[in-house]
Amino acid sequence: MFLSLATTYQPATDLGFLLMKHPDRVHEVELSFGKAHVLFPQAEASRCEAALILDVDPVGLVRGRGAGDGLIDRYVNDRPYAASSFLSVALNRAFRSAMAGTSRERPDLALMPLPLEIRLTPLPVRGSSSLVAELFEPLGWTVKLTSIVGNDGPSPYVELQLSGTLTVAEALNHLYVLIPVLDADKHYWIGEDEVEKLIAKGGAWLKAHPARETITSRYLKRRRHLVRAALAKLVAEESELDDDVSTPRQDSEERLEAPLRLHDIRLDAVADALAATGAGVVADLGCGEGRLIGRLVKNRQFRSIIGLDASSQALERAAERLRLDSGREKRVQLLHGALTYRDIRWHAAEAVALVEVIEHLDSDRLPALEEVVFGAAKPKTVIITTPNADHNVLFEKLSAGAFRHPDHRFEWTRTEMRTWATDIETRYGYTAEYAELGPNHPDHGAPSQMVVFRR
């Protein structure tokens, strides 16, 4: 089994610090079923590649299991050669710190999305080959498959190449979970602890993945009670997120801003700005309960309206609000997904809006959103609104230094917003225009700020 991870981040040799492996040496990891070797075929400032080669002992796999019918099948199979749960175990043993997102020498870099390339071969694909794309593309990867042809023709094995801008920890955890999913088998007994492993390695992204039921079922070898337990944990985490993001918003931020009718002002301004672009396909990223979409459906200019949100409960409420079950509104499509992972399902949008979304992201996750929206999807227009922190002093019920919403990770001043927007202009080739939303104070500005990016 061969797996390589490469980056062109410069200096690329910092990959060695992230993996805690010196590029000038060959590293060996003893495993109960064989040995893993980690080496660096290329270690230059412009590009660095780390390779994990797993050597599985086929005799050791069955030693001590006794004789009986079908013993030859225990020796003659693809377990020692094809990527499987053996490789996941080796990844966890060889790169434990990297998978945890920690680095003693480069702690900031460990949290930074980097340009990554992954090559994995041979990878068994038990099922449709389209499953590979369905698993990896929503996570932000560009997928390339090369079929491996044997003496008897096509085989169920492929060489997988992935490219994307993610953290090393995200990349390794994606592989750890999805390699056994593609193989649809595991080399050890599946028990309750496997549910905890799945949540630990995949919970951060799995709850928003459109194929989470498939992933969970195949990872747990379709053991129904374990699958139900894992999905229940994921739903519980998502419900906690809903409680933190949706309910407090209504109890605090909306109540705080209600006398200004700021939310209506904000949505009306964004709807008008989207209409002014002339776009026919638009997307509301972080659509919540569909309040903006409710305005957009009234405009027949929009022939396709996409809503994306990480909360399935919010999407259910949006579907109810928009009465999509009636089947009369064919233009609206609601998608379950996260904005920090590439998702080609909404890339056809000519104009997108993120209404009060970015401030809910941790600062270390904001670069991932930037790369997904401005780098990968590249819509012609991106409209973003966010609170104006300069205005907060005018809210009598808001204590000094507090945010308007308990889930906000930051609130920008007008200067901070323009500094960020200027960086987007430079890196992604957009031009920015600014507007202030709501009553405008001569010193502190309006309560909300909007930036419209065009390219």
Pair 36, 180 in one domain = yes
Pair 395, 281 in one domain = yes
Structural domain span for residue 118: 2-188
CATH code, domain with 280: 3.40.50.150
Pair 25, 171 in one domain = yes
Pair 253, 367 in one domain = yes
**Is 288 part of a structural domain of the chain?**
yes
Planar angle of CA 212, 218, 224, nearest 5 degrees: 90
Segment 220-239 mean pLDDT: 74
Question: What are the angstrom distances between the C-alpha of 67 and each of 57, 63, 279?
Answer: 18, 10, 69
Check whether the bond before 122 is cis (ω within 30° of 0): yes
CA distance 255 to 249: 8
CATH code, domain with 117: 3.30.1610.20
Range name among 38-52, 58-72, 249-263, 292-306 with the lowest pLDDT average: 58-72
pLDDT digits (tens, 9 = 90+) for 339-369: 888 888 999 999 999 999 999 888 888 999 9
Q: Where are the beta strands (DSSP E) in 44-80?
A: 48-56
pLDDT at 417 over 90: yes
Range name among 72-76, 305-309, 417-421 with the lowest pLDDT average: 72-76
Question: What are the angstrom distances between the C-alpha of 240 and each of 147, 235, 273, 308?
Answer: 42, 9, 33, 19
Pair 345, 441 in one domain = yes
**Is 195 part of a structural domain of the chain?**
no
pLDDT at 118 over 80: yes
**Is 240 part of a structural domain of the chain?**
no
**Is 68 part of a structural domain of the chain?**
yes
- Which pLDDT band, with edges at 50, 70 and 90, does 62 fall under? low
Pair 164, 258 in one domain = no
Report pLDDT for 153.
Answer: 67
The residue assigned the tokens 């030859």 is 72
Segment 7-29 mean pLDDT: 94
**Is 199 part of a structural domain of the chain?**
no
Pair 151, 45 in one domain = yes
Report pLDDT for 357.
Answer: 93
Range name among 16-20, 58-62, 277-281 with the lowest pLDDT average: 58-62
**Is 232 part of a structural domain of the chain?**
no
Which DSSP string corresponds to 219-266?
HTTT-HHHHHHHHHHHHHHHHHHHHHHTHHIIIIIHHHHGGGTHHHHH
Please state the domain count of the chain: 2
Residue 199 near residue 238, CB atoms below 8 Å:
no
pLDDT digits (tens, 9 = 90+) for 78-97: 555 566 778 888 999 999 99
Nearest to 303 by CA among 342, 332, 269, 277: 332
Task: Count other Cβ atoms within 10 Å, centred on residue 294.
Answer: 15
**Is 85 part of a structural domain of the chain?**
yes
The residue assigned the tokens 């600062």 is 363
* Structure token digits, residue 107: 């702690």
Pair 253, 372 in one domain = yes
pLDDT at 239 over 80: no
- Which pLDDT band, with edges at 50, 70 and 90, does 258 fall under? very low
185, 191, 194, 196 alpha-carbon torsion, rounded to 10°: 160
Pair 117, 255 in one domain = no
